[in-house]
Amino acid sequence: MFARPLQSPSDMTPPVPGTPRVPAYKSPYGPNWRGTGISSMALTEFRYYFQTHVGTITPKTVMRTSVKAGLFGGVALFTVIFYASGIPRIQQDILQRIPIIGQRFIKEKIPASDNPF
């Protein structure tokens, strides 16, 4: 009475006897689809989803930007500490308190009797 609706482009051509049925190509840029299968009688349901955003900022953009900013900030912090490691106040207040490498920045005071001048 009613014809079965087409579910995919592979339904348009009759299958060749003895060949396995291969599903049609699904583009990653197309809509999400759900169904019980290509060979079933159920209709495939196409849905478009709205992406949450504030202006042009999406959650994906926030994650990418925060990771990049964190990496850039870590490199910038390392660079500042590296260049400032010769300043005695930085050595005492910051670098000596780092658990593993703090001992490297402790300098022993030389007694005045050892001074040759």
Rounded Cα distance between 26 and 87, Å, is 61
pTM across the whole model: 0.48
DSSP element (H, E) containing 33: strand 32-34
Q: Which residue do the tokens 């005071």 mark? A: 109
Rounded Cα distance between 10 and 73, Å, is 52
pLDDT, tens digit, 9 for 90 and up, residues 31-51: 666 554 554 444 455 566 678
Residue 55: DSSP 8-state: T
pLDDT, tens digit, 9 for 90 and up, residues 46-88: 566 678 889 999 999 999 999 999 999 999 999 999 999 889 8
pLDDT over threshold 80, residue 26? no
Confidence of residue 22 (pLDDT cuts 50, 70, 90): confident
Rounded Cα distance between 50 and 46, Å, is 14
